[in-house]
Structure 1
């Protein structure tokens, strides 16, 4: 089963100093942090902040290609968590035909923002993520999870790299 999520914001992991995309379910009870690369976080941040660039970025180019080919973005799904790596699927709609495309979650999320489509996470991924955090470094993961769950709007100012 898929759970609809929204991008709540971006933050830096205080331990690894890596960017984290924070997904929160639409009911507001579950939080899923996904660690991403610096460039991927920047692509997401540019769209969150509605910053225009002088030339199209990669995700803007993909958006233009999809629109030019009359292909819609139906949804993106964070579909799997395997060996601490998240996987995603982009679901395209072309003339009523659904096409699935394997993707990194960061790219799928950047496209979802640009094309205003829903973001989902498989329930099994949410469960695996909770299980993984209880198995590995419990103290720091519990601390991070408490911090993520307690975030409010003031905690997310403008994202800076």
Structure 2
């Protein structure tokens, strides 16, 4: 089993207003993949990324403080499985006596990884399933208007959107969604 180190790339809006798309990417920035998370999970991730301090502790702050008080160190976060669109994640910790692995939701594990500044890994076989390689200059093809979304009708765009979502190509789906919104505002 081969592990690949990943990091948070960005968090974006999703078509469902109560969810967000968390885009993770390999440390070398060559492959990325999306994870759908709730608004609350997105808020807590952004809070850690931006180092925002709230008046009262959130659940993740409490967990972090408890771990510190009991001298538990978080070493790594590991995404080890993907079943029915759900990423299975473990946090690998230790105290002075033993090493332990604890099952976690991906968003909770990532928040703790940010708090501890520890690496996050994904099983390579999972990355191969969900990853989207970053396009390079060599990958670019000759410009073709048939691929330009602005030339498509709203009906064609909605079909493309359904297809993109079905294929879990969320970045492309967000572009299509934006084009639909723009066309609907013009009409």
Under TM normalisation by the shorter chain, which class is it? 0.7 to 0.9
Partners of 1:81 and 1:129 within 8 A in 2: no
Query: Hey, what's the Cα distance between the residues in 1 that align with 2:171 and 2:128?
Result: 14
The alignment's TM-score, normalised by the length of structure 2, stands at: 0.69
2:101 matched to which residue of 1?
100
The alignment's TM-score, normalised by the length of structure 1, stands at: 0.79
2:16 matched to which residue of 1?
16
1:33 matched to which residue of 2?
34
- Structure 2: stretches of 5+ with no match in the other structure: 133-161, 175-187
Partners of 2:164 and 2:172 within 8 A in 1: no
C-alpha spacing 1:61/1:20, structure 2 compared with 1 (3 Å): same
Query: Hey, what's the Cα distance between the residues in 1 that align with 2:122 and 2:70?
Result: 27
Structure number with greater CO (CA < 8 Å, separation at least 6) is: 1
Q: Which structure: larger Rg?
A: 2
1:61-118 deviation digits (Å, cap 9, x = unpaired): 1111111111100000111110111110010011262200000000000111111111
1:74 matched to which residue of 2?
75
- Structure 1: stretches of 5+ with no match in the other structure: 132-136, 149-161
C-alpha spacing 1:146/1:139, structure 2 compared with 1 (3 Å): closer
Query: Hey, what's the Cα distance between the residues in 2 that align with 1:39 and 1:97?
Result: 33
Partners of 1:21 and 1:36 within 8 A in 2: yes
After superposition, the CA RMSD in angstroms is 2.2
Equivalent residue runs for 1:11-160 within 5 Å: 11-13=12-14, 15-17=15-17, 18-95=19-96, 97-130=98-131, 138-140=163-165, 141=167, 144-145=170-171
